[in-house]
Amino acid sequence: MDSLQTSFAAKSWFGFDLDDTLHEFRKASGIASLVVFEAIYLQHRVPISLLQQSYSSILAQMTANAFACGKTSTAYRKERFTALLQAHHISTNDDHLENLAAIYKRALSAALEPKPGALALFQYLKRIGKRIIIITEGLRDAQEWTLEQLGLAQYVDILITTNEMGLAKVDGLFEKVLQRYNIKAEDMVYIGDNEKRDVMPAAEAGILSILYDEKSDCQLEGNGRPGSRLSINSLAKLEYILRMGIDAAGKGEH
């Protein structure tokens, strides 16, 4: 633990995934989608359960490609809702799709909330002079909007999305980010909720990577070097580890 605290304290860059790491994306998007389904049901009387089934299939087919191209979030959502309506033989027009996209966005805004400890962690990181980089999948305009809604945007130095880079995390995104911004891998720690899409590709780029897993106990054994298997179950725990490292470093200077 002591070596991990020291390693954290020495890092200049703190990287984070966004969805389901810094906020409850699945929960919020599920709520917003349900509001859209209710609107469709009221107008067309298609059972909500059938809309949910169709939408799940549509998401599975469309999400991966959308995040690696130059679409806007509104265009992507309208495509999803077009596919949903077509699956149930409902004719539509652009005004109808714009309305559904607006309904979704309003509901999403109301449902968004940061993970416990996210705001306090970001505020602490900036107070001690650390830099924050978000490296996340998704559409850039949507992720910029999300950070604003969460109250985190003002603390973020760099936002990187797979959408703008045209490259997935598992296809070398981390290496490209390090090169573009002249960041040394050993000077960064990265936290994400997906082992295969966050932790492993970041570690392969030489970055100290930590799995964010609320359902498991913290795993903090290791020397803090890339390759250490580390996980935390709260952002408050990450702040605590960092504070201990900063305090220890300060005492060592006297």
Pick the last residue of a domain from 81, 111, 141.
111
- Are 122 and 152 within 8 A, CB to CB? yes
Spell out the residues 6+ positions from residue 238 whose beta carbon is closer than 8 angstroms to its own. 117, 121, 191, 210, 232
Q: Do 53 and 164 fall within a single domain? A: no
**What pLDDT is attached to residue 115?**
97
Alpha carbon distance 52, 34 (integer Å): 8
Residue 17 structural domain: 2-24+114-252
Q: Do 14 and 59 fall within a single domain? A: no
Q: Do 235 and 197 fall within a single domain? A: yes
What's the number of domains the chain is made of?
2
Alpha carbon distance 197, 210 (integer Å): 12
Q: Do 119 and 174 fall within a single domain? A: yes
Which element (helix H / strand E) includes 8? helix 2-10
Which element (helix H / strand E) includes 209? strand 208-212
Question: Which residues lie across from 22 on neighbouring strands?
Answer: none
Q: What angle do the packed helices 73-87 and 48-66 form, to 10 degrees?
A: 140
Structure tokens at 29: 């998007």
Q: Do 53 and 165 fall within a single domain? A: no
- What CATH code is carried by the domain that includes residue 15? 3.40.50.1000
Q: Do 45 and 32 fall within a single domain? A: yes
Q: Do 103 and 156 fall within a single domain? A: no
Residue 219 DSSP code: B
Whole-angstrom CA distances from 115 to 28, 122, 142, 154, 190 are 12, 12, 18, 17, 16
Pick the last residue of a domain from 111, 145, 160.
111
Over the chain (254 residues), what is each successive 10-residue block's mean pLDDT? Answer: 79 97 97 98 97 95 64 91 97 96 98 97 97 95 97 98 89 96 97 96 95 90 62 95 82 50
Structure tokens at 237: 């725990």
Q: Do 80 and 137 fall within a single domain? A: no
**What pLDDT is attached to residue 254?**
41
Q: Do 220 and 247 fall within a single domain? A: yes
Structure tokens at 41: 């049901």
Pick the last residue of a domain from 94, 111, 128.
111
Alpha carbon distance 60, 167 (integer Å): 19
